[in-house]
Structure 1
Amino acid sequence: MTSSAPAGTTAHISDPAQAQRRILRVLVASQVLSGAGLAAGVTVGTLLAQDMLGSTSLAGLPSALFTAGSALAAVAVGRISQARGRRPGLATGYLTGAIGSVGVITAAVLDNPVLLFISLFVYGAGTATNLQARYAGADLAHPSHRARAVSTVLVATTLGGVAGPNLAAPTGTFAATLGIPNLAGPFMLSGAAYALAALVLALRLRPDPLLLARTVAQAEESAATAHPAAPEATNTSEGRGSLVVGALVMVLTQLVMVAIMTMTPVHMHDHGHGTAASGLVIAIHIGAMYLPSPLTGWLVDRHGRMKVAAASGITLLAAGVLAAAAPGDSVALLALALALFGLGWNFGLVAGTAIITDTVPLATRARTQGMVDVSIAIAGATGGMASGIMVAATSYPALALTGGILSLALLPAVAATVYRR
């Protein structure tokens, strides 16, 4: 399938580097907004469901629902991006997330758990789109700077991601003045943030990075055909192996991170901490997920994808041990453990994204990236759902330690891929 470049694209073909700088600026602006939407909902979604249901065993259900919703959204955003470009794909995803936020607020007002769960599923589109945006940053990047381009998009989420949880209490107070339940307040912020992110992308993401990358690739291919060089042998089995490892790194780090993050506010609530304290810990966690991205991107480009992927497993193990050992009344130690979980996730996401983008050809890139993100979302849904059940059956420390140990599965997979090379 061929796509004609949209208006505003052909004018930039002569200077893809200049277009890449503009694209990164627009993506940064949209990610700042969407980060606030993502973080605000994560902070109180679990508590809102627990308040409605009166049960801790189902406290992981909201996280499972919006990560399951993000799986469906990842397919949709990937397919729209493959057919029409990143701009319509990302804008549609964020707008869907905004609609989900409105549904959550309505469910809270009506005290309707069924509507809450449906709306959380729809709200998950914002999560998927927030992650898919990192691929748009890499479309035009040179391979030697690809991880740094990904990290630029990711770090932009930090500002909104840190602000969102800390606005949980003020937005809750504001919601109460409007007659809306306190815990639904942050979803007012989410809805507005996602809608603004969609507007920024729809109006300003020009040229479209994926469509322009295809045009540039076609021009280079035509030049290579006119001046053929000696063909290079390709090892397709190595490519498939790298694709699997790149996906595994992101899937496993997502599963472990979501499981621990989901139950931390509940664990803190059970030990007498309020919304402000859990919001602070989640804010530190989300900051650690995104803030180290420039350093991680440099490490991935400088020292290799596989080394940083292995480091993610080791970091998550350390985080699990610390979270398991931390006293329930210690906000500082829980915050440090959650920061390490965020850092390990960041290592895995940046390294895994670079591996996938290196491996998949442009002709099928967006669709394959969408399917990989489906696996990531399913892993998050599994972690979110299982976390509540496991904590109800055992304890939060047991969950944290299990997650840390599970992360070590990355090491043999990375080692096997490096050995094959």
Structure 2
Amino acid sequence: MTSTAPAGTTGSIPDGPHRPDVPDAAQAQRRILRVLVASQILSGAGLAAGVTVGALLAQDMLGTTSLAGLPSALFTAGSALAAIAVGRISQARGRRPGLAAGYFMGALGSAGVITAAVLDSPVLLFLALFVYGAGTATNLQARYAGADLADPAHRARAVSTVLVATTLGGVAGPNVAAPMGDFAETLGIPNLAGPFLLSGAAYALAALVLAVRLRPDPLLVARTIAAAAEQSRTVADATPAAGPARERRGGVVLGALVMILTQLVMVAIMTMTPVHMHDHGHGTAASGLVIALHIGAMYLPSPVTGRLVDRYGRTKLAAASGLTLLAAGILAAAAPADSVALLALALALLGLGWNLGLVSGTAIITDTVPLATRAKTQGMVDVSIAIAGATGGLSSGLVVAAAGYPVLALSGGIAALAILPAIAATASSR
């Protein structure tokens, strides 16, 4: 007798008549992960290239440091709107059209940034950066697609597989910032807008890969399997208890809060690090190296993080993220401005702390949200994450202008510790 597979797992199809319309989940999951890995490599380059020079481009066009955090705030605010759109499209039509549309908008925003730089138009720059944020939102939403068909015991590993693919493009993107700037000048485009040439091409290719190759759609397959499983359950088995329902609501709040705090702290410190280095005589190549190491630390540890989350539990790794971000903030605040090595280490710890929070928080959310509302809820959670990133990006420039980079870094590290009482409060409410 075959066993009943919970919704969204890679288990066997439940007992009952043969259903040719129910695909093999394990086989579909392998193909889906391969396609997502390919698209994430491309989108990682698009994301990282723009992050490296966005603040510098705004600083150059506006002539002030106080608004250098505005680009980060704008494209993270744009990612909030995109997260809603991608989530709703995915809920209605599946992951494939939602993710492909998001990356296409990211490519469109990159083209707008280049046009704004050529025309020297700050207004157009800000509008384009807002649209460019769709790529950031889609890059994060893709992790949910990796978890749709994953076995619950291996969900964090599936998420980490998608995340780690971003590393290749994410590390390469900042390191080609200087060459892309030189290439842009040969085309009559300002140097700092050069990396957005790479962003636009990378996002467009990622959209094409998903639109053509993400078949079958993971969310639609998961729903098909869930519907088949539902038919095999008794009425008693299908009736949820009141206790677990409360736990699911608490899990959504905790998972969202972990990711919100880690995003806020990470974006604030990351945004102003290139500006801090530039103000102390470091060139684009040095800041690009530091951001590349940071992006690598955001994604490269994902396979290890996923296994740790699955083995030791979501909340333990979430707590570790808060402590790691605190260490990053302290080191960034204490590092001499002329020490590229210490700033690189601080940004690497910052990326690692974000990674721990994102993988554990995503696993918590996916564990606790039913398939019927999964994509929509995940989209709304990512809206909150994007708003936190926008807040961090916008406030970072103001804090640095008023009190300096060390104050920003230390304040961010301390703020990350709020994850610990949140975990304790959720545990005590169960």
TM-score with structure 2 setting the length: 0.94
Distance 2:21 2:110 in 1: 37
Corresponding position of 1:90: 99
Distance 2:21 2:285 in 1: 47
Task: Identify unmatched segments of 5+ residues in structure 1.
Answer: 1-9
Distance 1:279 1:417 in 2: 39
Task: Note closer, same or farther for the CA distance 1:323–1:199 as it changes in structure 2 (3 Å cut).
Answer: same
| 1:261 is the counterpart of 2:261 | no
Deviation for aligned residue 1:416:
1.8
What does 1:12-411 align with in structure 2 at a 5 Å threshold? Answer: 13-225=22-234, 229=237, 233-235=241-243, 236-411=245-420
On the 8 A contact 1:285/1:338 being kept in 2, the answer is yes
On the 8 A contact 2:47/2:170 being kept in 1, the answer is yes
Deviation for aligned residue 1:224:
1.3
Distance 2:263 2:20 in 1: 39
Deviation for aligned residue 1:40:
0.1
TM-score with structure 1 setting the length: 0.96
One-letter amino acid of the structure 1 residue matched with residue 337 of structure 2: G
Distance 2:23 2:104 in 1: 33
Distance 2:320 2:271 in 1: 23
On the 8 A contact 1:257/1:342 being kept in 2, the answer is yes
Distance 1:304 1:383 in 2: 28
Task: Note closer, same or farther for the CA distance 1:149–1:202 as it changes in structure 2 (3 Å cut).
Answer: same
Deviation for aligned residue 1:223:
1.2
Runs of 4 or more above 4 Å deviation: 228-232
Distance 1:150 1:292 in 2: 12
Deviation for aligned residue 1:11:
6.6
On the 8 A contact 2:149/2:222 being kept in 1, the answer is yes
On the 8 A contact 2:23/2:221 being kept in 1, the answer is no
Secondary structure of the residue aligned to 1:161 is helix
On the 8 A contact 1:306/1:418 being kept in 2, the answer is no
405-414 vs 232-241, which deviates more? 232-241
Report how many aligned residue pairs link the two structures. Answer: 411
Secondary structure of the residue aligned to 1:57 is coil
Secondary structure of the residue aligned to 1:81 is helix
Task: Kindly provide the CA deviation profile for residues 124-169 of structure 1, in whole angstroms up to 9, marking residues without a partner as x.
Answer: 0000000000000000001000000000000000000000000000
Task: Identify unmatched segments of 5+ residues in structure 2.
Answer: 1-18
Secondary structure of the residue aligned to 1:327 is coil
Task: Kindly provide the CA deviation profile for residues 169-211 of structure 1, in whole angstroms up to 9, marking residues without a partner as x.
Answer: 0100000011100000000000000000000000000000000
What is the Cα-based RMSD across aligned positions, in Å? 1.2
One-letter amino acid of the structure 1 residue matched with residue 388 of structure 2: A
One-letter amino acid of the structure 2 residue matched with residue 399 of structure 1: L
On the 8 A contact 1:313/1:409 being kept in 2, the answer is yes
Task: Note closer, same or farther for the CA distance 1:77–1:225 as it changes in structure 2 (3 Å cut).
Answer: same
One-letter amino acid of the structure 1 residue matched with residue 159 of structure 2: V
Task: Note closer, same or farther for the CA distance 1:149–1:234 as it changes in structure 2 (3 Å cut).
Answer: farther
Distance 2:331 2:238 in 1: 54
Q: Among the aligned pairs, what percent are the same residue?
A: 82
One-letter amino acid of the structure 2 residue matched with residue 366 of structure 1: A
On the 8 A contact 1:12/1:207 being kept in 2, the answer is no
One-letter amino acid of the structure 1 residue matched with residue 93 of structure 2: R
Task: Note closer, same or farther for the CA distance 1:404–1:98 as it changes in structure 2 (3 Å cut).
Answer: same
